[in-house]
Amino acid sequence: MINLYPTQIESISLHRVGNKNKGEGLFLSSDAFGLNDETTGLLKEYFFKPFREKEENYFKLSNEVDVEFNEIYKIVSDIFINPSSLHSNSKRIASHLFEQSNHPHIKSGEVYVAHLSNIMLDNVKVEAVGIFKSELKHDFLQFEETDDNLNILVQQGININKLDKGCLIFNTAKEEGFKVLSVDSNRYDTKYWLENFLGVEALADENFYTKNYIKLCQDFAKDVVLPAEDKQQEVLFMNRAVNHFAKNDEFEETNFLNEVMENPELIPEFKNYKVEKGPKYSVEDVSTFDIANKAVSDARKKIKNVINLDTHIQIKMDFINPESAEKFVEKGWDEEKQMYYYLVYFNKEEKN
């Protein structure tokens, strides 16, 4: 889990990278940018806000031969060894990005390379190198006061509430390729940023396994539980699964299945399903791992716990108290109306 609020920008350099395919150039600043209190506050919010809002999917720098052949890995390693080399190395980063900027869809923009300190990553203080890029320009109004009139000037600039691209490369797990977080608001050129420029692949850590195993459970609920039973049982299965992850620090598959599977006949079904679908989420050989609480929280927000009926009525289950849905909701069949029904028990209606 990451906490960026205490993070400090120790130094930062700015450059402009054009689209090489369109004949746009590369502008490298001769000196590092001089920070002051105002710009530091604005840049911290601009750079870090997307990472606080985004699901934490970690990557690592990689190369098909060896990570030491990854260009960003080599440059960032130099910066961590000698932070005073940030500016000269930021030119290497900008030049590397320029060499990858040759697809017609890639937009020119400003590149910021920063040395960051005091980041709390999994309750450990670490340093990082941040690489950020602003691409999309927006019109805004400026006003000029003359002797008799107030005039409007139309200018262009960046929206500091929306970072276009960015990554944080943390000085941890160097042997594996460092630990990396990335954001990208413009999905049309994600491959250029992640693969061509950074050269990353997913980091198989507790966050990765927690998130992917829950996704496997979601697919199982939809593909097996729903056809075999009904929508209520699909929702309740995911309810129990997520709560199992939420209340445990470590995952052990046998304990999970015994607790979550109310119908024992579904246990071999799940094991067969995992053999078939597990490779899709890289969990086919995984049965134990540490649970990442942040990944559980993120998954819970996305999982639908609503039963939609063809009579335009919705029944919403509670993920926090799943036993309520099992104790106080009954499903049946009305012979006279030839329709299914849900019977809901309650003591009183709660006021909003």
| pLDDT tens digits for range 222-260 | 999 888 878 778 888 888 899 899 999 999 999 999 999
Whether the model pTM is above 0.75: yes
| Res 189 pLDDT > 80 | no
| Res 345 pLDDT > 60 | yes
Q: Give the residue-averaged pLDDT of 59-64.
A: 93
Q: What is the number of helices (H) and of strands (E) in the chain?
A: 11, 17
pLDDT score at 116: 97
Within 10 A of 103 (CB to CB), how many other CB atoms are there?
14
Sign of the CA dihedral with 122 first, then 128, 129, and 133 last: positive
* Confidence class for position 31, pLDDT limits 50, 70, 90: very high
49, 170, 48: which is closest to 121 by C-alpha?
170
DSSP 208: H
Q: Rounded to 5 degrees, what are φ and ψ at 76?
A: -65, -35
64-101 pLDDT tens trace: 899 999 999 999 999 999 999 999 999 999 999 999 98
Q: Which residues contact 217 (CB under 8 A, 6 or more apart)?
A: 237, 238, 241
Percentage, residues of the chain above pLDDT 90: 53
114-152 pLDDT tens trace: 999 999 998 899 999 999 999 888 888 888 888 888 989
* Confidence class for position 188, pLDDT limits 50, 70, 90: low
| Res 179 pLDDT > 80 | yes
Q: Give the residue-averaged pLDDT of 283-296.
A: 90
Q: Which residue has the higher pLDDT, 97 or 320?
A: 97
Q: Give the residue-averaged pLDDT of 213-224.
A: 93
Q: What is the mean pLDDT of the chain?
A: 88
The residue extents of the domains of the chain are: 2-203, 220-344
Beta bridge partners of 314: 308
pLDDT score at 198: 95
Distance from C-alpha of 129 to C-alpha of 117, rounded to nearest angstrom: 9
Q: Rounded to 5 degrees, what are φ and ψ at 157?
A: -165, -175
Distance from C-alpha of 218 to C-alpha of 198, rounded to nearest angstrom: 31
Q: Give the residue-averaged pLDDT of 16-29.
A: 91
Q: Give the residue-averaged pLDDT of 287-312.
A: 83
Distance from C-alpha of 242 to C-alpha of 226, rounded to nearest angstrom: 17
